[in-house]
Amino acid sequence: MAIFVYPSVNSQQAVPVEKFGLALTDTVVWIDLLKGTPEEVAAVEKALGIALPTREEMREIESTSRLYCEDGARFMTTSLLYSTESDAPESTEVSFVLVRRFLLTIRDVEPQSFRQTAALFARRTSVSRDQVFIALIETIIDRQADFLERLSKETEELSQRIFRRLPQAKESESHLREAIFQLGRSGNLIARERDCIVSLARLVQYAGHEDFDDGGEGPVSPIYPRLKPVSRDLQSLSEFAGFLSSKVNFMLDATLGLINIEQNAIVKIFSVAAVIFLPPTLVASIYGMNFVNLPEKDWHYGYPFSICLMVISVIVPFWFCRRKGWL
């Protein structure tokens, strides 16, 4: 738990703020509040003269709770997937606050995008608030794009496995059942990613509003033109995520259809077998009756005749079913 401030000149690394003292020198442009304690939050609020959103307010889904202006500052909160390299990515909320010449970020996790942005500006001699903000958003979008590309590759490999013919029906049913679980996981991740993309798009659109004047302390920052490419990237990611979602739904329907086909094939075998063995069962039932006046009861060749009749009654339906392609 710490506050990090990033100087804008000769910055080699973030400077941790000890004892909750926040010295906002002329070189500081980025204040990063990571897992802030109540004391640290109070120190930042006192230094910037604003009230920071609580974790409960950051989790609100209403746009007015996530995107608003207050005390000359612009508050923007977005959902974000992190640990996308693992098999179980998690979601969190990250808040961006544009106040005067500072960028304040509030977060409870350490996404790779923040570390990459910090390393990027550590090699620069001069940066501004808008540059850091745009770089952070672009890095986040790049990470989300990489995650979608990985999901797309996994989905394509899964598609090839689903539609590949297996020699044994038992193996086919097993791998189709496994494919359903993988498709469910991919569909869930894509849905969560689409939610993050929509949230990011709203944040970028709100950040680019021209009516924000930094609390009346100066002219509007020319951030809107630089956010246009970011908006186009988010639009393309949203369309790609929609395509992946449609593809996963198609594959899920196809997998369920293939499983139904295999189950119907098994049921068809039993149905045909029942039809084939119905005539001999009828013959055996007729000659199994114990009536006194049964004509063939005392016939010397009655038993071999009934056996031959049952065999013929099996062969004829079997030949008919084979000719129709039912077997």
Q: What is the pLDDT of residues 308-317, one digit of tens each?
A: 888 888 888 8
Q: What gap in Å lies between CA 70 and CA 110, rounded to an integer?
A: 27
The predicted pLDDT at position 173 comes to: 65
The predicted pLDDT at position 306 comes to: 83
Domains of the chain: 2-262 (3.30.460.20), 263-324 (1.20.58)
Maximum alpha-carbon separation in the chain = 119
pTM score, whole prediction: 0.73
11/203: higher pLDDT: 203
Contact in structure between 97 and 49 (CB atoms under 8 Å): no
In this structure, the chain runs to a length of 327
- Name every residue whose Cβ is closer than 8 Å to that of residue 290 and which is 6 or more positions away in sequence: none
Residue located via tokens 């084939």: 276
Specify the DSSP class assigned to residue 69. E
SS3 of 79-145: EEEECCCCCCCEEEEEEEEEECCEEEEEECCCCHHHHHHHHHHHCCCCCCHHHHHHHHHHHHHHHHH
The predicted pLDDT at position 96 comes to: 92
Confidence of residue 124 (pLDDT cuts 50, 70, 90): low
The predicted pLDDT at position 213 comes to: 46
Q: What gap in Å lies between CA 96 and CA 109, rounded to an integer?
A: 14
The predicted pLDDT at position 241 comes to: 92
Confidence of residue 46 (pLDDT cuts 50, 70, 90): confident
| Strand spans (E) along the chain | 2-7, 15-16, 28-34, 67-70, 73-82, 90-99, 102-107
Q: Is the pLDDT of residue 141 over 80?
A: yes
Residue 86: is it exposed, middle or buried by C-beta count within 10 angstroms (0-12/13-18/19+)? exposed
Q: What gap in Å lies between CA 205 and CA 151, rounded to an integer?
A: 26
Read off the amino acid at residue 181: F
The predicted pLDDT at position 215 comes to: 47
Tokens encoding 127: 């940066």
The SS3 assignment for 247 reads: helix
The predicted pLDDT at position 125 comes to: 63
- The model's pLDDT over 259-307, given as tens digits with 9 standing for 90+, comes to 787 777 778 788 888 888 888 888 888 777 777 777 777 777 777 888 8
